[in-house]
Structures are given as structure tokens and as C-alpha cells.
Structure 1
């Protein structure tokens, strides 16, 4: 992985509390246990832990009413998925001349379609892409309005059917009347791993993938990835990073075009601007690389 030129300052929250939060986010403990353990680590540990919970008022960078975009919620068929139907947040650029746009699927973390992910979709539309952010929780009532309940709901879903819902979302977007047929995929945390899975499942059907701190696919799937990949990793993220060397070896063996970037001083989730894990310099640099990838592969 290539170290970025931009230096990212370390956060003031105790490193062990960051590690606990990562365990909490991925189901190793509940909220009560996370807060209790954080309180025992350091003076002010409770306040540090509470600060890590998302504040979605901070996440909006592109307004719902931004004149460059038009957003709506759409439903579409999802055969073999959790319920046979899916719902997603579709955001298109406003253009007086263009009738079709390069398309990017945006895959959420392990808690459903929260306001941060919707904002990412709007950012892409403002940059000229047709973006769809599916809500994997739609079959069980949709994102419930908070990440705590969202995580519990997603944990209860059948993983294979949830993956099918994401795959069907990619196919729906690729074939949408507003799409030019060129598909890119990006995702965060669970969605980063799902980005890799969809790139493998659709092969040539995906032109570009930009997973953020996503777990690697199994070795047999890596050989099926044909998309150009730009992969983003946090420095302090051993749970994810341990899977990268084998993943990279597979990409190299297949001759797949890729670039991997490790962002110094960052935590898992550094792109998410609703929590203190966010690192502005790394988020901006990684996003510029993601947009450059999609500009190169989907607009040409």
C-alpha cells in the first residue's frame, strides 16, 4: 500500500476505546458493555466512548435541495433476496442535455441506509454520476433511524439473501434508463467487503470498484474480479488489514489493475464524517482517488 503525502493527525480518544468501538460496531458486544469497558480504560472513558456515536447532522455535505441533483426513493424487484423487493435512494445529476449518466452503487455499513451513506450518494450525483444507495434493511422495515437498532436488524438477516439484494441492486442500477451501462461500486466497512463481492460476482459487468476498509473476498472469487480497483485502508485496522496480503497476491496473479492506499494515523471508518473516527485529510484524499477512478473508467 502507498502512504499518502498528507499527514493525518492522530485522534485524542484513547486507542483502546477505538478498538472497543470497532468490536462494538461489529457485534462483539452491546452498547452497555462497550460503555462499561470504555469507562474502565481511562479517566473520561465514558465521554470518549459516547463521542464515537454518530452525529448525522454533521454528515450532510450536499443539501437535499442542491440544484445539481435530483433525489428520490425507488423500489425494484430483488428475486432471491430477503423479501423479493428492495428500496434504494436514487440520486441523479440535473443536466439540461444529458439523458444518461455513468452509474455508481453505494453500499452502506452494517447498519442500513443511514444519512451519511445518503450524503455519499448525493456527493456522487453532484460529481456527475447516477448513484443508488440500497437499504439492505428495507425487507425488515428499513433503516430504523439509529445505528444501534440498524445493526441489530442487519445482524438478523440471512447474509446470503442480503448479498443477493445488493447484487440485484447493482443489476437494477446498471440497467436503469438513466444509466449509460457503465457501473462502478463503492462501499464502506461491510459495504467495502460487499463491493469486492459484487465485483467478483459480476465480472466484466463492473468497470471499477472502490472499497473502503472492506474485508477481502475468498481466494476463489478474487480471480473473477475484472474491475479496476482502488482500495482504501485505515492504518489502525488489523481486523481488515490482515486479509489484504492474500487479496493483493490474487489480484497480481490475475493481472487485475489496482491501487491500494493505507492512510497514516487513521481508524476504521475514517471517511465517515459523523463520528470522531473521521479524518478530514484522509477522507478528502481517498475520495479524490475514488472520483478519479470513476471519472477514468465510467465516463470515458
Structure 2
């Protein structure tokens, strides 16, 4: 049977799943409300399973790929949780330094999909580093539901400092040229926008996939060019875009925004049915070109 896509599900069910993914409702509430869409022998539990990530099936660059080198590494975050951990990848056997990309996960921590994204960047010639915000709570637990339950327990003030520290750690790595960009997805997209307000010229470019907008008062501090990747069917995130754009224009910031028709929040994540192959390829090509323009 072929892999299901977003078009196989009712839009209201996708909105309900989005609320579950982002902590608006719990599992039981999702299942109760999803039962109305469970027809033809399909149960609400089966719908949730169909909508949930399939990491191995979607993996593009395997951990044993000879084109890359990789390691899990701890880094200091004195203003955050103290000691943090992330996943570092780089081109195998590279004699020259490479530009860096900080990869920021969704609201589940450093799961296999984000590790795969990090490896893809190494194949494309970058030193990529993906911190795990859940490390202070034991790290990504290997289960999306458990990760979703853990994430609200983080002190976000400390977690933001952990990502600021991660950016500095990557810039200072011996494999890195000292120029870095950042890409993030969902929660991570919002974190990219936040880092742009905090890092000044230490961030050379930011790409935010369907991420929340930063505080409007901080937008004037943005120095890095930004690329905003937006899904058409994403009312929760898109509602804040007009005010964000107005602040960017007022600040004279460099930015571009791409809206992908017919797509859902999470369209770049190829582990779930919300994935849109054409939009994901186009957006990723744009992301790589943006980094090659501004970070090299």
C-alpha cells in the first residue's frame, strides 16, 4: 500500500493533529475527537499511527554513510542548563574548514529525522550541529509521545540560552570557518527567528520553517538575512506573519518569504503524511542556495 499523504485526511483532522503535536490537546482528547473521522474499519488509534512519523522509511542519509563524519558531543551553556549535548556532522576527510549550520529541532528534541537533516547538510559541504534541548531531562527518549510530554517541562529561558551557547560553540569549532547559519523547523523555526534577534552579526543567515515570530520589539536587532518558509494551511503560525513583516520592513531587515500552496505545517518533514515532496524539494533547494550565498 502506498504511503498516505495529507490529501488522504480531512483538513479538520490535520488541524486537530497539529493541536496535539503542539501540546494544545492531549492524546486522549485527540483520540476522542478523531473518532468522528474513523470510518470504514479505521480506528482513531489507527489514524494517529498513520499521521505519526516513520523515521527509518524516510531516512535519506544513513548514519554509516561514508561521505560524512559524525559524533555526539557535549558543550558548555553556563547561562542555560550548564552542560548540553548535540549531534555534530561534517564532510568526511575535508582538509579545509567549512561553514557551519545550526540545526534546530521541532518540539520533540533531537529525533532521528533532525539527525538525518544534519547529515544531509554535511553531505552538502557544511559543518552541521544539532543540539538536543531535552538533554537536561535525559535527552530525546526515542518515543515521540514521551518527547512531547517532556518538552513543556523545560525552562524555556534556559533553553534559549542553550541555543545561543550552541551557536557560539559551532562558530568556534576548528572545522568551522567561523561563519554560521541556522535552520529550524516549527519550534526550531521560531528559535531561528529568536536567535536572529540575539546574535547580531554572529549569525550570517537564518532559515525558519513555519516558526513563530519573535517579539516585535526585538526585530530591529536582526542583522542576518532571513528566509521564511511558510505552509499555506497553517493558520496558527501565519496569523503572526503580517506584524512580523511590518517590523522587518520598519527595521530595514533583509528577508524573503516563500508560501507553498496547498501545504500543511510540517510539509518539509518527510517522515509524516503532511510531507509535500515538491514543496520540500523546492524549499530545501532555496535553503541551500541561501546558505551558500550568505554563509560561505
The TM-score normalised by the length of structure 1 is 0.93
Residue 40 and residue 186 in structure 1: after superposition, are their counterparts in 2 closer, same or farther (change >3 A)?
A: same
Do residues 194 (structure 1) and 191 (structure 2) align?
yes
Unaligned runs of 5+ in 2: none
CA distance in 1, matches of 2:181, 2:43: 40
Q: Deviations over 1:212-231 (max 9, x none)?
A: 00000011111111111111
1:252 partnered with 2:249 = yes
Q: Tell me how many residue pairs correspond in the alignment.
A: 289
Contact 1:17 1:48 in 2 (8 A): no
Task: Judge conservation of contact 1:111–1:143 (CA < 8 Å) in 2.
Answer: yes
Select the residue among 160, 164, 167 that pairs with 1:167: 164
The alpha-carbon distance between structure 1 residues 127 and 141, as it changes in their structure 2 partners (threshold 3 A), is same
Query: Which residue of the partner structure matches residue 72 of structure 2?
Result: 73
What secondary structure sits across from 2:75 in the alignment? Answer: strand
CA distance in 1, matches of 2:218, 2:67: 38
Moved over 4 A (4+): none
1:272 equivalent in alignment to 2:269: yes
CA contact (8 A) 1:16 1:41 kept: no
Shift of the alpha carbon at 1:160?
0.6
| Structure-2 separation of matches of 1:128 and 1:184 | 13
Select 2:216's aligned residue among 216, 219, 224: 219
Aligned equivalent of 1:37: 33
Indicate the residue corresponding to 2:89 in structure 1: 91
Q: Which residues of structure 1 form unaligned runs of 5+? A: 1-8
TM-score, normalised via structure 2 length: 0.95
Q: State which of 234, 237, 258 in structure 2 corresponds to 1:237.
A: 234
Deviation at 1:176, TM superposition (A): 1.1
The 3-state SS of whatever aligns with 1:223 is helix
Task: Name the SS for the 2:223 alignment partner.
Answer: coil
Cα drift, residue 172 of structure 1: 0.6
Which residue does 2:54 correspond to in 1?
55
Deviation at 1:58, TM superposition (A): 2.1
Give the Cα–Cα distance (whole angstroms) in 1 for the partners of residues 122 and 222 of structure 2: 25
Higher relative contact order (CA 8 A, sep 6+): 1
